[in-house]
Amino acid sequence: MKRHLLPLLLLAGVACLPAHRAQAQEKPVLNSAPPAVPPVQPRPAETTPVPAPTQEPVTQPEPQPQPEDEPVPRFPQPTRDAPSGLDFPNRGVVKSGEYGPTLTKKFIYSNFGLGFSSFNGLTQFNGSIAPALGFRITDKFAVGPGLSYAYSSYSVPDGYAITASGARSISTSSLGLKAFAQYIVYKEFFLHAEYEVTNAQLIADDGSGYFNKVNRTVTTPLAGVGYRQYVGDKAALDIVGLYNFDNTIYSLYPGLVIRFSFLYNIGK
């Protein structure tokens, strides 16, 4: 029996061998290589924080010590432009011969004057006004016609009478025509001359030691110097001192006449 089983076992083993090889071939081969290193993921870029701008502290200027007020000199100090120490207003602003910033060929020239004189105890007070129209021949020389009106009051001391009626004073008024001329000498200083022809009221001795009014045509030559102060672009103020070359009791004006004049440029 054992003799018959042995050949059967061999046949069965031979039959099972191909199946065993097939299973052996289908068995997966194990990977003996070391495991691969996983790829490194890139790190997110770090944003560098921008520092906030710092505001520099504002430095306050240190207070400077205030200079002490210099003592005002008691008397004017002489300078190169004013050797006497005295200075006139508007010095250096207007050049010699100029009539202000706006120079025109024509101007209105009006004045009023005051005068006072005394002759043999007879006192005379005078007030006048004289508008005129001026024409500039050059920058320095001007001429023009005008009108004149004068008021005079004559009086005598207490205890005396000037009229036969016993009055101590008598007044007159006069109206006339005139012509004037001006010449700029230096900066604001000028020469001024006038010649008037006036239908005047005057006082005359009636032969008994008293005075009464008389009408007479009077010619009056006046000349002197003046100073001009500019006001704005077109106007100026003058002060003029004039001497009356016909200074008699029959004169319309006293010996010295002080006038204040107003000048205004017109036209182009």
Confidence of residue 95 (pLDDT cuts 50, 70, 90): very low
Q: Please list, in sequence order, all residues whose beta carbon lies within 8 angstroms of the beta carbon of residue 90, skipping any fewer than 6 positions away.
A: 188, 229, 230
Rounded average pLDDT over 35-56: 57
Distance of alpha carbon 24 from alpha carbon 78, whole angstroms: 136
Lowest mean pLDDT among 47-56, 192-201, 212-221: 47-56
Domains and CATH numbers, the chain: 106-266 (2.40.160.20)
What digits encode the pLDDT tens for the residues 123-162? 888 888 899 999 999 989 999 999 999 888 888 887 777 7
The residue ranking higher by pLDDT, 177 or 171, is: 177
pLDDT grade for 6, boundaries at 50, 70 and 90: low
Name the token pair of 4.
């018959």
Q: Which residues pair with 119 in a beta bridge?
A: 122
User: For residues 98 and 103, what is the distance between their CA atoms, to the nearest angstrom?
Assistant: 7
pLDDT at 55: 60
Are 222 and 243 in contact by the 8 Å Cβ rule? The answer is yes
Residues of the chain above pLDDT 90, percent: 25
Residue 237's pLDDT is 92
CB-based contacts of 88, cutoff 8 Å, min separation 6 = 188, 227
For residue 187, is pLDDT > 70? yes
d(CA 131, CA 149): 9
Residue 100, pLDDT score: 47
Give the global pTM. Answer: 0.52
pLDDT of residue 98: 46
β-bridge mates for residue 134, sequence order: 107
DSSP 225-239: EEEEEEETTTEEEEE
Considering just the CA atoms, what is the radius of gyration of the chain in Å? 60
- Mean pLDDT (the chain) is 74
